[in-house]
Each structure stands twice: as C-alpha cells, then as structure tokens.
Amino acid sequence: MQVFLQTLVGGLSLGAIYALVAMGFSLVYRTMGLVNFAHGNVVMIGAYVASTFYLTVKLPFVPAMVIALVITAGIGLVIERVLRPLENKDFDLMLIGTIGFGIVLEALATLIWGATGRAVRNPVQTAPLDVLGVRIRTYDLVVLGVTALAMVLLVLFLQRTKRGAAMQAVAMDHEAATAVGIHVGRSNAIAFSIGAGLAALAGGLAGPLLYVSPTMGGSLGIKGFAAAILGGFGSIPGAIVGGLGIGVLDSYSAGHFEGYSDLVTFLVFTAAIMIRPTGIFGERTVNRA
Amino acid sequence: MTFRSRRTLRLGSLAAAGVLLYALPYGLGSYAIHVVDVAIIFALLAMGLGLVMGIAGQVNLAQIAFFGVGAYATALFTTQAGFGFWVSAVLAMLAAVVAGLVVGFPALRVQSHYLGIVTLGLALAFLNWIINTPMAGGADGISGIPVPPLGAVDLRDEYLYYYLEIVAFLMALGFGLFVVRTPLGRRMKAMRDDPLAAGAIGAEIPNLRMTAFVLASLYGGLAGVLYAGLIRYVAPESFSIANMFLLLAMVIVGGRQSLWGCVVGAVGLSLIREWLVDFSTYAQLGYGLVVVLMVVFAPTGLAGVPVRVAERIDRRRSADRAVLRPFRPYEPLDGAEHAGPEVVGLEVVGISKHFRGVKALSEVAFTVEAGAIHGVVGPNGSGKTTLFNVISGLYKATAGQVVMDGRRITDARPYRLSQAGIARTFQNLRLFGALTVRDNVLVALDRTRTRFIWRYALWPVGVWRYDRELRHRADALLDRFGLADYAGATPGALPYGIQRRIEIARAMACAPRLLLLDEPAAGLNGEEVRQLSEIVRSIRDSGVTVIVIEHNMGFVMSLCARVTVLSGGRVIADGTPAEVVATPAVIEAYLGDESMSDAPLDLPTEVK
C-alpha cells in the first residue's frame, strides 16, 4: 500500500508537468487547429533558459522562470508567423512544418548549451512532508499548485475575457470571426505565444525533477501530446486529467516493468486511443457530406 | 514535341541512367562507395514512406521502426537461430510486414495527427524494447551477422554489394511506380484526397489503409535486410527518432507525392549529411530549416518544381482552348426490358436519424419506383442530405430500414453499397482534388475488390492489361459526357458547371443501378440546367433509378415522376408533382403561413 501510494505521488508530480505540456498543445489546437510537434522542443528551450538564469546568472528561481516564459513566447510568435500561410489549409503539411521547427530548436540548443545535459538544483530546500508514511517532496506540491493555478487562469482567460472569447470564435469558424472584425492572425499569434509560455512553465518546473538535455523535449513532448489526446484534444480540463493519467501510468510502468516502461506506456496509450479516439472529454465530430 | 520523339528521349535518358549506375563504382573510392550503399538504403526507406504518406495520406512516423525490425530480425535469425542469411532475410521481411500490420491497425480508428502520435509512440516502444531486451544486446546491438552468400560473388566487397543493392532498388522503384500508376495507387490517392468520397465509390478504406502500411513495411523491411548485410552489425542508435525525422525531411524535401522525389531527397540528404559529418549539429539545423521552408514555399518538394514551372508557362500559352462538348445520350433500354431484373427500386421504411437529441429525420418513409426519377424537396435543414447520407451508408440510421431490390441495405458500409450498385454525388462537390479528371473517373471505373491486389505480386501483367482496358473505358465515358478536353486537368481549376458534370460522370463510372444526385443544379445557369435534365433523363432511360434532391422547382417538376417533400425531418407530402404542389402543408412549409395559401403558387412546370 505504501509503495502504491508513493508511486502515485511520484506519478502525480511528473503528471503535472505533462499536464502543462498538454495544456499548451490543447490551447494551440483548439484555437488554430494546429498540432505543434515542436512544442516539446519549446519545453526544452524553456528548461534550458530557466536553468541558465537560475544556475549560471544566479537569479532566483521565479525571475529565471519569467525570463524563460518571455523568450519562449517569442519563439512561439516566430513559429506561428512562419507557418501562417498554411493555416486552415493543409493540416499534414503544418504538422510536418512544426516537426522541422523542432529539429531546428534541438540543433540550436545543442549549439548553445552542448550535447551533454545538466542537473538543476531543487529551489525549495525543505524537508519532505510525511503523510501516512508517504514522503511528499515540497517541490512536488509547488509543481502541482502551479499547474492548478495555470489551468484556472487559462480557463478564466478563455471564458471571461474578450480576447479569450475572440480566440474561441476563431476556433469555431475563422472566416466568420474575420467577418465580425476579429484579427485572426493576431488572435492566433497570441494563442501560440501563450502555448509557448506554458511550455516554458513546464520546462522550467521540470528542470529540478528531470535532467535538462537537448533531447528531453522528445519524450516530454510525446508524452504531453499523448496526455492531451487521452484527455480529449483541445479540452483544458482534459489536458489536466490526461497529464496526470499519463504521469501515473508512467510511474507504475516504471515500477513494474523497469526498462520497458516506455514500451508499456505507449502500448496502453495506443489501446486507449483505439477504444476511445475522442479521449475522455473530447467532442465527437460529425463528418459532413 | 511529338509522342515518338518524347518516347525516344525517355528511352535515351533511361539508358544513360543505366550506364551511369553501372559505371558509378569505377569512379568512387572505398569510402565513397560505402556512402553510396547507405544512401541507396535510405532511398528504399524513403520510397516506402512516400507510398504510405504521400500517396495514401497516412501519417506514418514509424517507418524507421520497420527498418529496425528488418535489420534486427535478420541479425537475430542469423546469429541466434543459426539460419542462413537469405532464409533470415525472408523471415525478416515477414516480421516487417507483421510490424506494418501492427502499426497500421490504429489507422483504422484514427487519422492525421492522432495517427502521427500513435505511430511515433509505437516507434519509441520498439526502440525501448531493443534497448532493453537482453536478446538484442542492449545498447551494444548485435554484431557478427554473416556475409550474404551469393555463389562466387563475395559480397564483403562493398563495390559488389552496390550491384546487389542497385538490383533490389530498381525492382523496388519499378514496382512502386507500377503501383502508383495503376488501380491500387489511384485508389490510395483518392483515399488521401477525400476518404469519404473514395468510400462512396467503392474503395474499401480499412483494407486500403492496411495495404498502404504493409507496402511501407515491405520497403522498410527490405532496407533493413540490406542494411544488416552491408554493415553486418545493428545497434539501436540507427533506428532513433532523430533518424526518423531525417527520413521525413528527405521525403518532404524531395516531394512526398512522387517516388522519384523521395529517391532524390534521400540520396541528396544522405550525401549532404556525409559531407557535413564533422558539423552534424549544423547539418541538423540546416535540414530542419529546409523542411520548414519547403512546406511553406514548395509543399510538393523538389519533384513538384518542374510541374509548377510547366503549369505557369502553360497557363500563359493555352488559355481556355478546351471546350465542354455536348453530352451523348446513353442507349435507352427497350420498353420490354424496362422492368427487367437490372432495374431496381428503393423502399425507405420508417427511417429516423438523431444527432444527440436533434431529430434530423423522424420516421421517413417513401417508395421509389424502379426506373423512375424521384424528387426529394424541402426547405433548407429539412433533412434531405441526411437522408441521402443514411441511404448511401455515411450515417447509421437510428431506426428504420432501407430496402433495395428486396434486400435490406441499412447500415452497410459505403463501399458495400457502392458495390451493390448505389452511386451518389455530393452537395458541395467532393472530387479528388490532386487527381486529374481522367483519374477521378478511373478510380470509379475500377470495380475490383481489395483481394485484386494479390495480382500485383502474382501476375502484374494482368494488372497492366486491366489498367489499359480501364483507360479505354474512361476515355469513352469522358467522351460521352463531353469532357474529353479536360481529361488531363485537375478539377479544382475548372468552372463550377464542369465540376458538377465531372461528378455525375464519376458516379456513372460506378455503373450504378441507383443514382443519388444531391442538388445537381445548384450554381448552374439556365442552359446548364437544361443540359443537366437531358443527362438525367438519358441516365434514367439507360435503366438507372435516379433520386434527386433539388431546390430548383422547375427542374424537379419537369423531371420527376414522383416527389417526396420533407420538412423538419418528416415527410409532409408524397405524390406526383401536381399533387404535391397543391398540398396545403407544402405551401405552408415553403411560404411559412397558412393564411397565404390562397395566394397563387407560382411554380414553373416545364423547363425548356
């Protein structure tokens, strides 16, 4: 029982990171119908920038995160601007275009920071809590708290602000949105930069949990994407549930199958998608003839 | 350029390419030939990826895993099980096909980016397995794969290995080109452009998707076997996701919809990668940038550049010399045969269709007489197209049944219904955009089932003959519909009226017994509507039962023997045009208010 709960706690904090990654995927997808395969690499850039300002420049953790957020939001703007001609046209081409950006970002990171990774010091140096014999690191609670806060802010933004409502309108019908005077390009650019900012948040928080390296984007991105799909692609609460689900699944399969954990995680994910392609909170779409 | 000189040119360039391929090793050093050997293997992989992604439109990020399965299976069968190289090679190809089936299986349920992530996940799962299983030697991989024995030829020599690879490569390229240009390839392209319409004209979409993945896995497996024989050592790093993306870059840069493009992209990037081997990170940066630029500025890749240039020149020169010729009527059936077994009616019995509480259709029932033209009219949103979608199998009915020819056909898959003799057109036109007009018709003319593809392996000559016969029939059909001048054009650029006619021609290519026309007169001018009624009458006279949805009342009233009126998903009138027009419910549905019913309803009854 103790082992079971300990694994669950470990899975939840990593799951919160996946949830943040998944939220970025979902936000960009629901507003512009684009799947950003470079998202994982933006997460990696966020992790590197945050850790550089935290470890090398010796800024406190929070300002370092803010700088990472701003920089990745800028990267998001660049990606959106370059791929804008393809928006609402060829889905598969856009997907491949973002894979291209992912390759570029990974190469840039290798050039700037080298191919070997770095470990990041835990910014919250307090003793772990002990609840019913389960050790909970304070930092895990920080990660979960930030994720919850980010979700609440994002949902409020989408539902309560004019800008958020405009984004939803663009998502539903970009032509009608143009007709009522919404600047679709700008709305998409903002969505994309918020998505990239979420990536920096995920990357920065993941730094102390994982090892920061140019290739960390690959596995974080793929698992975050899997989380988004599992929860129902485009749904913000779905991203949270999917993220925590993948995190816990990962944690248990690491415990039981050791080296084969990725194999098990992806097989389970494939089976889940085959059974319910729309995910947990996904909308069923009807093909119109 | 005349046909003959073009053919001579083509033969000449093929001969020159042959001589070049033969002589190439003589001019290369021992390292250069190794690089070329590896490049050919990547070309094979890229062709497989091009077939599944560019031709069949299935996002496949597991091509590198097929490669890995081929290579690892060869290594395991030779070193662990002690089989000979060629026996192992055959078993490895089988293993790759099994991998293809496993990876392709999710494509039955999910498409596009979902399929991308699932295939990528499965590729990672494979990588995870070979790194961890003790049998595969972990990160160290497997060494000591024997040299492939080939009589007196020593394949340890990489120069001689080159010739083995070239033979395999040319056979794979020839087979790939053959597939692309014959019925299977056309069907896959149709599925890529519009799976819904492809299903409606008889393509068995699930089988076709699996076929595409199996083809990709065959190319991947072959590449893996050749790689194992060349390097005689396999390790996980060769099958990494980074290499998958490199392969993707090759296909995008070269042009995913052209096998030649895939080959050019693969060979080109392989050589560039080797050239920049000391600056591999910069090379990675470079090809990432090239991929981004290609998708934005040249989505058809290098292979598409000559076509685009030619199109630009063509547009200037031959502006609109093509004309739409008059339709040549079908031979009418004799009166005696008119009610023969070929001519079928349709019975719609209590069909309901609900979308989460929205009742699009409630207990719709009517009968279509064999050999008649039956009209379905009603205000917008009254459920007409939903009804067609239920009849043609795109939607599952919530309740009720459709009976054709005494057989219950409710809830059958669209391709089954197409094979049973139902063809349809679509309200918003669903032509295959990247296919020529001739190919659009050819896809529909091909009435074979999926099992036909065995002939590709067993008797390709038969496939070739069949294809030639189809082409003759396509030309005859296009000629009948007056579309011969547009045979080589892609439909998107043609005027709307011509596209409508192409869709009818495509539906008739299915040799249907029941034809469903969804607003065929929408957007047509008066003359075009007149031509259309002539075409529809001729189709009916040839023994095809026609159901037509239309808002153009004159067209419906003059053409249809009986008319069913829908409103709010219910049948509100059914009878001859004259009876229906006089029904108060119809007048109310159209004019909105019963108090208006004494106003004269001005419906023209004849179109000339």
Cα of B154 to nearest chain A Cα, Å: 40
> Higher pLDDT residue, B192 or B4?
B192
In a domain? residue A286 = no
Residues in chain B within 8 Å Cβ distance of A85 = 296
Confidence of residue B320 (pLDDT cuts 50, 70, 90): low
User: What CATH number has the domain bearing residue A60?
Assistant: 1.10.3470
Whole-angstrom distance, CA of residue B126 vs CA of residue B122: 6
B253 inside 8 A of chain A by CB: no
Chain A to chain B Cβ contacts (< 8 Å) = 138
Confidence of residue B2 (pLDDT cuts 50, 70, 90): low
pLDDT score, position B336: 47
**Is A35–B288 a contact, with Cβ atoms under 8 angstroms apart?**
no
Residues in chain A within 8 Å Cβ distance of B129 = 260, 263
**Is A85–B296 a contact, with Cβ atoms under 8 angstroms apart?**
yes
Q: Which residues contact B588 (CB under 8 A, 6 or more apart)?
A: B594, B597
Specify whether the backbone of B369 is left (phi greater than 0), alpha (psi in -120 to 50) or beta. Answer: beta
The strand pair at B570-575 and B358-368 is best described as unpaired
Tokens of B69: 């399965």
In a domain? residue A287 = no
**Is B117–A107 a contact, with Cβ atoms under 8 angstroms apart?**
no
> Higher pLDDT residue, B598 or A248?
A248
Interface residue of A91, A270, A286 to substitute, partner B, most B CBs within 10 Å? A270
Burial class of residue A181, CB neighbours in 10 A (0-12, 13-18, 19+): exposed
- The answer for A 74-103 residues in CB contact with B (under 8 A) is 82-83, 85-86, 90-97, 99-103
pLDDT score, position B360: 87
Q: Give the percent of chain B with pLDDT over 70.
A: 94
Instruction: Tokens 């023209």: give the residue.
Output: B604
What average pLDDT does this structure show over A245-254?
A: 88
pLDDT surpassing 60 at residue B165: yes
Q: Domain ranges in chain B?
A: 28-239, 335-421+512-596
**Nearest-by-Cβ selection for A263 from B129, B248, B289:** B129
Residues in chain B within 8 Å Cβ distance of A83 = 292, 295-296
What average pLDDT does this structure show over B486-498?
A: 88
In this structure, of A25-39, A237-251, B75-89, the range with the lowest mean pLDDT score is: A25-39
pLDDT score, position B470: 93
Q: Which residue from B543, B546, B541 is spatially nearest to B516, judged by alpha carbons?
A: B546
Confidence of residue B310 (pLDDT cuts 50, 70, 90): confident
Cα of B166 to nearest chain A Cα, Å: 30
Contact, B33 vs B162, CB < 8 A?
yes
What average pLDDT does this structure show over A45-72?
A: 90
Residues in chain B within 8 Å Cβ distance of A273 = 106, 109-110, 114, 118
pLDDT surpassing 70 at residue B391: yes
pLDDT score, position B178: 94
Tokens of B523: 């957007």
Confidence of residue B586 (pLDDT cuts 50, 70, 90): confident
Tell me which residue range forms the domain holding A241: 2-275
Per-residue model confidence as pLDDT tens digits over B368-386 = 888 889 999 888 888 888 9
Cα of B303 to nearest chain A Cα, Å: 16
End-to-end Cα separation, chain B, in angstroms: 45
Most confident of A88-92, A125-129, B256-260, B586-590: B256-260
> Higher pLDDT residue, B170 or A132?
B170
pLDDT score, position A251: 87
In a domain? residue A52 = yes
In a domain? residue A283 = no
**Nearest-by-Cβ selection for B113 from A35, A218, A274:** A35
In a domain? residue A116 = yes
Specify whether the backbone of B565 is left (phi greater than 0), alpha (psi in -120 to 50) or beta. Answer: beta
pTM of the model: 0.88
Report how many domains make up chain A.
Answer: 1
**Nearest-by-Cβ selection for B245 from A93, A99, A266:** A99
- The answer for B 22-61 residues in CB contact with A (under 8 A) is 53, 57, 59
pLDDT score, position B593: 54
pLDDT score, position B262: 93
A111 inside 8 A of chain B by CB: yes
Burial class of residue B7, CB neighbours in 10 A (0-12, 13-18, 19+): exposed
C-beta atoms surrounding B296 within 10 Å: 17
CA B196 to chain centre: 10
Q: What is the mean pLDDT of chain B?
A: 87
Q: Which residues contact B541 (CB under 8 A, 6 or more apart)?
A: B329, B330, B332, B333
**Nearest-by-Cβ selection for A95 from B116, B121, B427:** B116
A145 inside 8 A of chain B by CB: no
Interface residue of A93, A223, A266 to substitute, partner B, most B CBs within 10 Å? A266
Buried b (16+ CB within 10 A) or exposed e, B257-276: bbbbbbbbbbbbbbeebbee
Looking at the domain B335-421+512-596, which fold is it?
Answer: Rossmann fold (3.40.50)
Confidence of residue B317 (pLDDT cuts 50, 70, 90): low
Contact, B191 vs B205, CB < 8 A?
yes
**Is B59–A82 a contact, with Cβ atoms under 8 angstroms apart?**
no
Interface residue of A103, A108, A116, A220 to substitute, partner B, most B CBs within 10 Å? A103
Residues in chain A within 8 Å Cβ distance of B255 = none
CA of B418: how far to CAs of A27, B446, B457, in Å? 40, 12, 26
**Is B128–A262 a contact, with Cβ atoms under 8 angstroms apart?**
yes
Cα of A226 to nearest chain B Cα, Å: 7
**Is B125–A266 a contact, with Cβ atoms under 8 angstroms apart?**
yes
Q: Which residue of A has its CA nearest to B122?
A: A266
**Is A273–B252 a contact, with Cβ atoms under 8 angstroms apart?**
no
Q: Which residue of A has its CA nearest to B58?
A: A92
